[in-house]
Amino acid sequence: MKDIKADSFIDITDVVCPITFVKAKVAIEELEDGQILEVRMNEGEPIKNVPSSFKDEGHKILNVINNRDGTYTIFVKKGGLVNEV
């Protein structure tokens, strides 16, 4: 998978549900449509819910990387699902 260059990065490994998505949502709200947010989160509950919550709100997940240290990094394109179709 080609390297993705993020416009912004947020680490949500220090918070638990439901603050995880709230923190990620605040971060993506600061971006313009089409810009990319990189999010690092814990395995378990966050990786189960945060990507699907982004999808529910119309953003597109471009890539998911398992960091093999109990965390994941995802790249999210703001509004990527809304503007594509």
Partner 1 sequence: MIFNDDLIKTLKDGGFIKQKQKDYYSIRIRVVAGNITSEQMRKVSELSEKYGRGYVTFTVRLGIEIPWVHYSKLQEVKEEVVRIGLAMAGCGPRVRPIVACKGTVCPYGLIDTQGLAKKLDDEFFPTPGFPHKFKIGISGCPNNCTKPQFNDIGFQGQVEPELNEDLCTGCGLCADVCDVKAITIKDNLAKRDDDKCIYCGSCIRVCPMDAWKRKRSGVAVFVGGKFGKKYNFGYHIADLVDVEKIPNIIEKTMNFYKSNGISKERLYDTINRIGLENFKKEILEDENIN
48 is catalytic: no
Distances (CA, A) of 80 to 6, 61, 69, 72, 73: 14, 8, 28, 20, 18
Which of the following is catalytic: 4, 9, 16, 17? 17
Residue 44 is classified by DSSP as T
Provide, rounded to whole angstroms, the least separation between the CB of residue 82 and partner 1. 14
Provide, rounded to whole angstroms, the least separation between the CB of residue 77 and partner 1. 11
User: From CA 41, how far away is CA 61, in angstroms rounded?
Assistant: 14
User: From CA 85, how far away is CA 81, in angstroms rounded?
Assistant: 7
Binding site for partner 1 (CB under 8 A): 1, 43, 47-49, 51-53, 55-56, 60-64, 66, 72, 74
Provide, rounded to whole angstroms, the least separation between the CB of residue 29 and partner 1. 20
Which residues are known to be catalytic?
17
